[in-house]
A and B are shown apart, each in its own frame.
Chain A
Amino acid sequence: MSESLLGMPPGRVDADVGDASVTLTVDATVYPLPAVYAAAYCFIARCYVLLDRGDGDTLRVVLTGKQPMDAAALRALVGEFGNELLASAWRREITRQNRGLIESVTMQAFGGAMGPPSLDDLEAFDFTDEPFDDPLGIAQSWEEKYRKPKPAGDPEAP
């Protein structure tokens, strides 16, 4: 049975204490889907998370306790989810703005830590793996691309 939680805006946060669940209605123009995903991902170890579309530009996030939870525990859960959601949305924007700096430091850190591949590493490399789709045949050799098809019936024809 749906009820409001103390200190939480009804309609935005509705709880079903008997079911140990709480439903948040999230404005997707404020909290974009990747931020909702990021916050949800952090919580799937602690509770059950189900996402749905709500009215207009809203998303519905249902958090359900893995064990019975009282109203105070649900309030704490939804409060923490709200904090994580805000942090995720803000982090996404910051990461976009500082992408160049973050990428450059990260690339140098991994380049520095990994070093060049050794012969053992190259030996273990799977060169048969298709690196990417090549519909235009850009990676094909000239001979492969333009050679004449072999006559029908040729057992070696490709």
Chain B
Amino acid sequence: MKRLHLERLANPQLLALVAVLLINWLLFPNFFRIAWQDGRLFGSMIDVINRGAPVAILAIGMTGVIATKGVDLSVGAIMAVCGAVAATMVVAGYPTPIAVIAALAVGLACGLWNGFLVAVLDIQPIIATLVLMVAGRGIAQLITEGSIVTFNDPALVYLGTGSFFGFPMAAVIALVLMIVVTLLVRRTAIGLFIQAIGVNRAAASLAGIHSRMLLMLVYALSGFCAAIAGIVVAADIRGADANNSGLWLELDAILAVVIGGTSLLGGKFSIPLAVVGALIIQAMNTGILVSGFRPEFNLIVKAGMIILILMLQSPLLGNAIGFFKRDPKQANSR
């Protein structure tokens, strides 16, 4: 029993995270130092979980989409739209909760729109979500009227920069969201249905699964998560920047999900591991930053990572590895 538990911990994602953190530690010996100051924790590690939170939040929603063999390219743009909604509403004098709920509702509506295109109109997900990816930034610019809307609403700012028992608020939100969504899909049958659709939508439909409703759900969830990320990022910089908020983050989110072991071909997925994937990406970013390399290296290293992961997922390599550790029982069962 104990052995099984250890084996479960030794999955490649956690090993990769540990490896990246150790490399950071070698490059920057103070990496693991954490200080307590003004009622909150400070340190590079805290920075990793704080800065990694927006991508982690996006990755939570993206996991469900990718597990159904889809992809959501619009999350970055939805972040900008929802950040803009929250910022303009508090500036216009609406109470913070109303502004936040409105922003979340807009994110949900964006997700439902994507879901409608994919599930009802049967448009390929990459194209369907491209629509909002392009249009979303335009909508955000219309809402902010082309400028960066800044605000000082303390309650909203708290969502981005506050701390909860010393931990950064953004990371706490990501953690809570991860637990809630994981419980939602694992304690209900939704997770199983999502996997079934991702593996074989035709067979899943014949087995009596409402595949349309489920696709609507996963895209809606993705939009909702993007709204949360958009609010957190806007609150962090105390302003809504329609042009740059969430720019290219959809790609980081997809990468985080793939690092987390969910195949772009759909099927088995893990939300916690996608969050670990987001942390790996952020640990690399932070590591390169604190070690004194120029940030340009960031992109090169990221590209290298993607190649490495795609190689590990390629069937060619899988077969080569499988050749050496083939289970004789399984080999004969065909």
- A, B co-complexed: no
A residues apposed to B, CB below 8 Å = none
